[in-house]
Amino acid sequence: MTAPPTVRRIWTSGLASLGSHPSIYLPFGRWRYGADLTFGPQTEIVIEGFPRSANSFAVNAFMLAQRRPVRVAHHLHAPAQVMAAARAGVPAVVLVRAPRDAIVSYLRWQPHVGVRQAARNYLSFYRSVAQHHEHFVAADFEQVTSDFGAVIRRVNARFGSAFVEFDHSEENVRLCFDAIERQSRAQRGDLLETVVARPSAERRALKAKAELEFTSNTPAATREALEAVYVEYQALTGG
């Protein structure tokens, strides 16, 4: 049975608060989400970002490109993952998307959160991670979805790693979206258009409502803060 929206909102807020504390969050992550997703001794790279920032595409593209299994910490959407990588000297990619686009997409996926909490979560994630900017490669949504091979190239240059670059061909992009669909079906038993991270007509149909909520319920000061954070990360991505 699905928990009431208020309970889910409190749960999401609590996770966001804990996400900046690796010593607390990472043990919880291993218990709740599994060792494969959570940073640990075997992790070779971290790929993390605010939800709906091409996380699924980036992880699947990275894995598709490699010629061997690589342990990737991903999809916890927690600064703790990036912080732990920075302290251990492990390569990390921080994914960033324009705040309006990311939050609107997030609200279609998790409408119970509400636009103000979603904005707070966005600011918390990127402000917490920013202090470690010398220890990760920042990648914009457009960079990830148009030339992820170049992102991997930047990782190799920054960390001296030898990960295989993704060939951003039409066929490989299709394979990534196919993998995303399979994962959604395996996790939930069916394909939910509000959950799976790939374009669809139904997702576009839901966009207008979330955009109206963002426009109507996000204070001007919050929008300015969101934009300031995004501009800071754009400088890190070279965008």
How far is it, in rounded angstroms, from Cα 174 to Cα 169?
9
- For 239, counting Cβ atoms within 10 Å of its Cβ (0-12 exposed, 13-18 middle, 19+ buried), the class is middle
Helix (H) or strand (E) holding 205: helix 201-217
| Average per-residue pLDDT for the chain | 88
Give pLDDT tens digits for 110-155: 888 889 999 999 999 999 999 999 999 999 999 999 999 999 999 9
**Half-sphere exposure for 224 (CA within 13 Å, toward CB):** 3
Specify the higher pLDDT residue, 49 or 205. 49
Give the sheet arrangement for strand 72-74, strand by strand. Answer: 72-74, 45-49, 92-96, 137-140
Give pLDDT tens digits for 20-65: 889 999 999 999 999 999 999 999 999 999 999 999 999 999 999 9
